[in-house]
Chains A and B, each alone.
Chain A
Amino acid sequence: MATMLSVRGLYKTFTLHTQHGAQIPVFHNLRFDAASGECVALAGASGAGKSSLLCCLYGNYRPQAGTIAVYHDGAHTDMVSAQPREILEIRRRTLGYVSQFLRVVPRVSAQDVVAEPLLALTGDREAARDKAAALLARLNIPRSLWSLPPATFSGGEQQRVNIARGFCVDYPVLLLDEPTASLDAANRAEVVRLIHEAKARGAAVVGIFHDEEVRDAVADRLFHLDAYKAAA
């Protein structure tokens, strides 16, 4: 199995300058790999740094030291030292991320929000909107909502739109931050199916799943962050 993600010596600490330079050490010397076709569940207490690790993997947070090699375009690229445009290109083609909350863009309909990443990848508007429709239907978003901007949707509806967006492109690496947190059983089961399909086509999945049933259903192994807690 190909290694899709390889993290070495990762160190993350927050310095809050607005609060007299208070330091929040999150993890140090973290080492982690994820291979094609496997799902790794991040484990650890609240505040252990699970979400921060996903943010670092996505290039959203800046670690203080270490490397994050992502297999992209036939070679490994280090997210930590990559230029902004390289990171955006890796995100466009290789690295998907489903955050805990949807960021709403004014005036953009739910269907277009979901279709956007695929449209950006292929330029085929029709096909991207079709795929978006199929995902919205699978996640039980009423058809009457598809043409509306998600700003007024319920928390669970927004989360499902967010999941549909994250799964619209068949990313080789998928990062999931509690994708089932505000979903009912039927929708949880659908997300589990989506994750299984992603693994089956060879995606490496790294996720945070508080729901044990979901975690047991999708995860091949756990990665405990507590061992990497930096001393305060």
Chain B
Amino acid sequence: METSLHAAATAAAFRETPAPFAGPAPGPAPLLNVSGLTKYYGDMLGCRDVTFALWPGEVMGIVGESGSGKSTLLGCLSGRMAPSSGQVAYESERFGVVDVHRAPEPVRRNLLRTEWGVVHQNPRDGLRLAVSAGGNIGERLMAVGARNYGTIRAEALRWLREVEIDATRIDHLPRTFSGGMQQRLQIAANLATGPRLLFMDEPTGGLDVSVQARLLDLLRNLVSRLGLSVVIVTHDLAVARLLAHRLMVMRRGKVVESGLTDQVLDDPQHPYTQLLVSSILHA
């Protein structure tokens, strides 16, 4: 099974079964409405004029070459980075429609703690290394008002089990965990508060292939079972095919092509997407 992920990409002859998993149940209104999102770093382009809507239960993949603006876009979508122009409207359970970048800072912070989750490529950016595994989950829970020690610990244990981390590791520091375990812990901490929307930047990057396959399997199951909406950045098209319902292909800060995942990968229209797909197939 070690190689099967990449075998899946390599053997992706055009007529294999597309979409190997369930699609989203159609919701009544989009969760995110993004229009004209643009970010410059000085006169350096980060991303430009990105417009799309994300519906409840949808998993949107963002693919493209290094430096194409994927992380920049994700940062702007999740309110952690201010765009130069454009708008992100989020349909919040608690606040109603939030204009993410014009909302007061406490609202953004609240969303990041409660209705949203952010999974960083490097688990060290998303975890507190000086706090135990259970504490990392517990802190998120306390931030949303949990106070009872017993309940918090029970929830932490439940989430460790969910991501296949042995219960005996609950009091250990994440520093003593492998990269794959740290990544699973980061996911558990994010999911513990029951977010509706997850932002992930290369969640399987830097992991070896068998660990990647396991993490992907886990993500696939959690996302479909919990009905999460996800925006996931990845440079790995096999990962995109497994997880994403839809794809946006970015190049030099702009979205050059978007659509249903299997359409974009099996019948790419834009020259850059064709290059991307063919170079992966021959990799």
CB contacts (< 8 Å) of A15 on chain B: these are 269
Determine whether the beta carbon of B217 is less than 8 Å from that of A84. Answer: no
CB nearest to B25 among chain A residues: A89
Determine whether the beta carbon of A107 is less than 8 Å from that of B18. Answer: no
Determine whether the beta carbon of A58 is less than 8 Å from that of B18. Answer: yes
Assuming the A-B contacts A60-B267, A86-B26, are A116 and B21 also in contact, with contact meaning beta carbons closer than 8 angstroms in the complex? yes
Determine whether the beta carbon of B4 is less than 8 Å from that of A103. Answer: no
User: Which of B13, B213, B260 is packed against the most chain A CB atoms within 10 Å?
Assistant: B260
Determine whether the beta carbon of A84 is less than 8 Å from that of B260. Answer: yes
CB contacts (< 8 Å) of A108 on chain B: these are 217
0/1 string, A49-60, CB within 8 A of B gives 1: 001000100111
Assess whether B271 is interfacial by the CB under 8 Å rule: yes
CB contacts (< 8 Å) of B12 on chain A: these are 103
Assess whether A106 is interfacial by the CB under 8 Å rule: yes
Determine whether the beta carbon of B271 is less than 8 Å from that of A88. Answer: no
Assess whether A101 is interfacial by the CB under 8 Å rule: yes
Determine whether the beta carbon of A84 is less than 8 Å from that of B259. Answer: yes
CB nearest to B1 among chain A residues: A106
Determine whether the beta carbon of B8 is less than 8 Å from that of A106. Answer: yes
Question: Which B residues between 22 and 51 are near A, CB-CB below 8 angstroms?
Answer: 22-26
Q: How far is the CB of A41 from chain B (nearest CB, A)?
A: 17
Of A92-100, A136-144, A213-221, which stretch is located at the interface? A92-100
Q: How far is the CA of A89 from the CA of B24 in the complex (A)?
A: 7
Residue from A14, A88, A102, A151 within 8 A of B17 (CB atoms): A102
Q: How far is the CB of A26 from chain B (nearest CB, A)?
A: 11
Determine whether the beta carbon of B245 is less than 8 Å from that of A85. Answer: yes
CB nearest to A100 among chain B residues: B15
CB contacts (< 8 Å) of B15 on chain A: these are 51, 55, 99-101, 177
Assuming the A-B contacts A62-B259, A120-B21, are A55 and B14 also in contact, with contact meaning beta carbons closer than 8 angstroms in the complex? yes
Q: How far is the CA of A99 from the CA of B16 in the complex (A)?
A: 5
Chain B contact residue count (CB 8 A cutoff): 44
Determine whether the beta carbon of A151 is less than 8 Å from that of B267. Answer: no
Chain A contact residue count (CB 8 A cutoff): 41
Determine whether the beta carbon of B266 is less than 8 Å from that of A55. Answer: yes
Determine whether the beta carbon of B246 is less than 8 Å from that of A84. Answer: yes
Q: How far is the CA of A87 from the CA of B15 in the complex (A)?
A: 18
0/1 string, A77-93, CB within 8 A of B gives 1: 00000001111110110
Determine whether the beta carbon of A105 is less than 8 Å from that of B20. Answer: yes
Q: How far is the CA of A45 from the CA of B1 in the complex (A)?
A: 38
CB contacts (< 8 Å) of A89 on chain B: these are 23, 25-26
Assess whether B5 is interfacial by the CB under 8 Å rule: yes
Determine whether the beta carbon of A103 is less than 8 Å from that of B20. Answer: yes
Determine whether the beta carbon of B23 is less than 8 Å from that of A88. Answer: yes
Assess whether B170 is interfacial by the CB under 8 Å rule: no
Q: How far is the CB of B188 from chain A (nearest CB, A)?
A: 19
Q: How far is the CB of B27 from chain A (nearest CB, A)?
A: 9
Assess whether B151 is interfacial by the CB under 8 Å rule: no
Assess whether B122 is interfacial by the CB under 8 Å rule: no
Q: How far is the CA of A143 from the CA of B211 in the complex (A)?
A: 28
Determine whether the beta carbon of B26 is less than 8 Å from that of A106. Answer: no
Assess whether B222 is interfacial by the CB under 8 Å rule: no
13 contacts between A and B (CB under 8 A): A18-B278, A55-B266, A59-B260, A60-B263, A60-B266, A60-B267, A84-B245, A84-B246, A85-B246, A89-B25, A92-B22, A106-B213, A106-B217
Beyond A51-B15, A61-B266, A99-B17, 11 extra complex contacts between A and B, CB < 8 Å: A17-B275, A98-B17, A99-B16, A101-B15, A101-B16, A105-B220, A106-B216, A107-B1, A107-B213, A120-B22, A165-B17
Q: 4 closest pairs, A vs B, by CB?
A: A88-B23, A120-B22, A17-B271, A103-B16
